Amino acid sequence: MPEPLRWGILGTARINHRILPAIRAAGDLLTIVGSRDLDRARAAAAEYGAQRGGTYEDVLAAPDVDAIYISLPNSLHAPWAIRAAEAGKHVLCEKPLAPSVDDCAAMVAAAQRHRVHLVEAFMYRYHPQWKLVRDTIDAGKIGAVRFLRATFTFRLRDRQNIRLSADLKGGALQDVGCYCVNVARWLLGEPTGVRGVALDLQGSGVDTHGAAVLEYASGALAVLTCSFEAASQQVVEIVGETGRIEVQTAFVTLGDARVRIVDADGDRTEIIPATDSYALEVAAMDRLIRSGEPVLTPATDATLTQAVIAAWRGG
């Protein structure tokens, strides 16, 4: 059996509670948790079952850390991922990798320069429901794709939430819109045009409500919507010339997944048993580090997602 990989975490965000079981499921170890507040770091380490807590610098300097998970606010992803690469640590960074094209490019360059792996934590891509979707499209079951519709929305009114902080580079496009852009790019490729609207309906200094249309050389269109102003929904529909696919819980899938397929074989709903996407993501990261097996969400992909988001915001 290979030696377990040893992880450090930068940040004490709630998302850590999703990644911790994934680290354990992979047979890996959580060595240290880092925070700007040392007391908070120590409390989180005790809560998470880590060996110790420390500062961000302590995590980077730790000789018993192979990989770092970054769950910090968006504005801090680039500086700390670059420093982690300089320290020789592999990095799994929460989405978005960084909130600009330039920052993503700088992070990728640092990882390449220091010969470490950098992965964007779009865990949804690892869920088996998406293999079903891709296989159905690739087999021609719904014909050429003409429309893709992706929506990720929920209501947010807590002005203390970092998602509503301009200083921390929040906003609906970076928090949930990035999923919609990512899935459209994954399934349709790079758009030839982007027309978007991004509104700040709360006067928070960040976008809270938006929609965009992406054009493709094939004639396909992607219609994307994201919001902190609407009832919770996370649905992707792919409409082809002869059929369609509806992914009913597209991105954060905690229970059984349901994928509706309407094609020449009829109208059916495939049920995929509950699966931990985070565990599959960490397992993929492990294989990348140990054997170089490519992951579904390399950091090099993030620059293109951010280019679309920039065009959406500027549209």
Cα–Cα dist 9/94, whole Å: 11
H-type helices in 229-301, by residue range? 277-291
Provide the CA 155 distance to its chain's centre, in angstroms.
20
Which residues are paired to 209 by β-bridges? Answer: 199, 227
Amino acid at 197: V
Q: Which of 40, 42, 90, 96 is nearest to 71 (CA)?
A: 96
Output the CA angle 214-118-283, nearest 5 degrees.
Answer: 95
Cα–Cα dist 129/234, whole Å: 14
- Based on the residue annotation, tell me whether 95 is a catalytic residue of this protein: yes
Cα–Cα dist 34/27, whole Å: 21
Query: Which entry of 95, 131, 141, 169 is annotated as an active-site residue?
Result: 95
Q: Which residues are catalytic?
A: 95
